[in-house]
Structure 1
Amino acid sequence: MHHNQSSTSNASADAGAYASFLITGDAVSPEFWTQYFQITPDTAIVKGKSFALPSGKSSKALGKTGLWGVSSESAVESDLLEPHLRYLIARLGLPREGLKEIVQQNGAKVGFSCFWFNPSGNRVPDVPNDIRSIIEAMRGTIEIDEYR
């Protein structure tokens, strides 16, 4: 896990990454997942109800689906995805016995949503095989949104 640091001043201006672990679905109950993981989510939406915006204000629109999510954005400083994903896996205690079944019983989906800022186009996002295996075992997905 090495990356070129020869242009350090440029690297920080040209780099950025974070990841979020999301559980989504019409029947998702943020309270249930908060209890299950014993973690206060960064994002919680109940379908059909107003929700807190990042500004702290309540949304005028109602939630289109349920969502429970935690992010690495304020906890990890790295322009690589791997440290963000490892942070979330450790924080959530993944893999967890029975998680896949609970998600399926609730008609929900799990996944990692990643932000990848790469304006120069000279970096490649890194998702190690062991992390891919954990995600696949949960029948989860990993989505990488690259911004140039």
Structure 2
Amino acid sequence: MPSNRATRKASTHALAHATFIISSDGTAPAAWTNYFGISPSRTITKGQPYILPSGRLSDRLGKLELWALESKAVVRSDQLEPHLRYLIERLGLPRADLRAHVERADARMRFFCYWSNEDGDRIPDVPEDIKTMMEALGGTIEIDEYR
């Protein structure tokens, strides 16, 4: 019987990916599309049905405004750093005025990172320069670890 590690290597399921998210109670996702000049991977508009990550339409209405750019479909790596670097490059981070835009919108900004660690032997690789940049921008880095 193959080990978990061998099964993972044979799988096409990535062990890591990241999403840049800006969410708020009242700033429409289109405002962030205009600001960054790129189309998001996902959006949610308050009071409207939205597309779930599975591609299905939600049964519920959005409770907030959300703009998200994902690395999953573009970056092939089981480490977080390449996913985060991709998002940083696409978004043109850091941006001198981003923190002010986020604060004016009373929004929350974060990197939301998926981290598969079934064997418990992987340590997320978030470089110090990325941590420092997000802190300076008023954002956070969250790691959702699955064991």
TM-score, L = length of structure 1 = 0.88
Trace 1:61-72 onto structure 2 (pairs within 5 A): 61-72=60-71
Q: 2:20·2:70 contact (CA, 8 Å) conserved in 1?
A: yes
| Letter in structure 1 aligned against 2:122 | R
Q: 2:114·2:144 contact (CA, 8 Å) conserved in 1?
A: yes
Runs of 4+ in 1 over 4 A off after TM superposition: 8-11
| Letter in structure 2 aligned against 1:68 | W
Q: 1:112·1:141 contact (CA, 8 Å) conserved in 2?
A: yes
Q: 1:15·1:118 contact (CA, 8 Å) conserved in 2?
A: no
* Identical pairs, percent: 50
Match of 2:77 in 1: 78
Please tell me whether residue 112 in structure 1 is matched to residue 130 in structure 2. no
**Whole-angstrom distance in 1 between the partners of 2:119 and 2:57:** 37
- Aligned-pair RMSD on alpha carbons? 1.9
What secondary structure, in the 3-state scheme, does the structure 1 residue paired with 2:50 have?
coil
Structure 1: gaps (5+ residues)? 1-7
Structure 2: gaps (5+ residues)? none
Match of 1:3 in 2: none
**Whole-angstrom distance in 2 between the partners of 1:134 and 1:83:** 16
**Whole-angstrom distance in 2 between the partners of 1:64 and 1:30:** 13
**Whole-angstrom distance in 2 between the partners of 1:56 and 1:72:** 16
Aligned length: 142
| Letter in structure 2 aligned against 1:111 | R
Match of 2:93 in 1: 94
